[in-house]
Amino acid sequence: MADTAAHLVDRVIPAVPVRQWVLSLPYSLRFHVAFDADLLSKVLAIFVHEVFGSLRRRAREYGIPNGKCGSVTFVQMFGSALNLTPHFHLIALDGVYAAADGEAPVFCALRPPDTGDVVAVAQRVAVRVASLLEKQGRDTEPEEPALAALYGASILGTKAIGPQAGQRVKTAGEFQFTRSGSAENSEESFEHRAPRCALVSGFSVHAGVGIRAADRKGLERLLSYAARPPGGSGTIEGTAGRSIELPAQNPM
């Protein structure tokens, strides 16, 4: 976690503004991508494409027609309650590189995305993923039914085995799920009420954390958070359905 964050700050990500985009998936899709790495990769590719598309559309507001984007993505398979929750942390340059003919590329910072921009990303992701699933067909049962039962219970926040199988798992705070799979007081529903967030057909997009170009320590903390292992530093603990911001970050 620490080595990855330090490497990205020191050798990969330039000293420009960056923004974290987080995509959480509908409950039924979480189940499928947990089994299917190829499907997970395709959903991630759609998400990256739409975030880059949002950046390029805002770049055109500045008269930049062919801006080049950059990002690093961490795939997380767990939530703050250590439940099975595949989701993506995309750390994107908060602007584009552009160059006139014969000149070196120059970074152009863009205005932060507004809620409408985030909604547009969520809508496009939802439509494209639905089309992907329709083409590929994802109604077949997994080949490992025992593991599938464990995955399903973890996604819904219920006990999978034993005399209390099917009952809700009690966790610190109020992180609970209904049997239908909808979240009550979860961090996902909390983030939907925050700025620069959208929830469309179960696809939750959050783009509320930005880091200024000069804040390299803040960037390293953000990357450490995105790269954390299950139960690692920066996970959300104990609070009743609240998403805890990392200290000393600079929202933009």
The per-residue pLDDT for range 23-43, each reduced to its tens digit, is 999 988 888 888 889 999 999
* Rounded mean pLDDT, 66-95: 89
For 206, residues 6+ apart whose C-beta sits below 8 A from its C-beta are: 20, 21, 22, 24, 118, 191, 194, 196, 197
* Average pLDDT over all residues of the chain: 79
pLDDT-derived band of residue 171, with 50, 70 and 90 as boundaries? low
pLDDT-derived band of residue 182, with 50, 70 and 90 as boundaries? very low
In the chain, % of residues over pLDDT 90 = 54
* Rounded mean pLDDT, 83-88: 86
Q: Is the pLDDT of residue 82 over 80?
A: no
∠ CA 201-236-220, nearest 5°, is: 100
What phi and psi, each to the nearest 5 degrees, are found at residue 144?
-120, 85
CA-wise closest residue to 248 among 208, 214, 221, 228: 221
In Å, how far are 41, 90, 187, 223 from 44, measured between CA atoms?
5, 9, 21, 18
Length of the chain, please?
Answer: 252
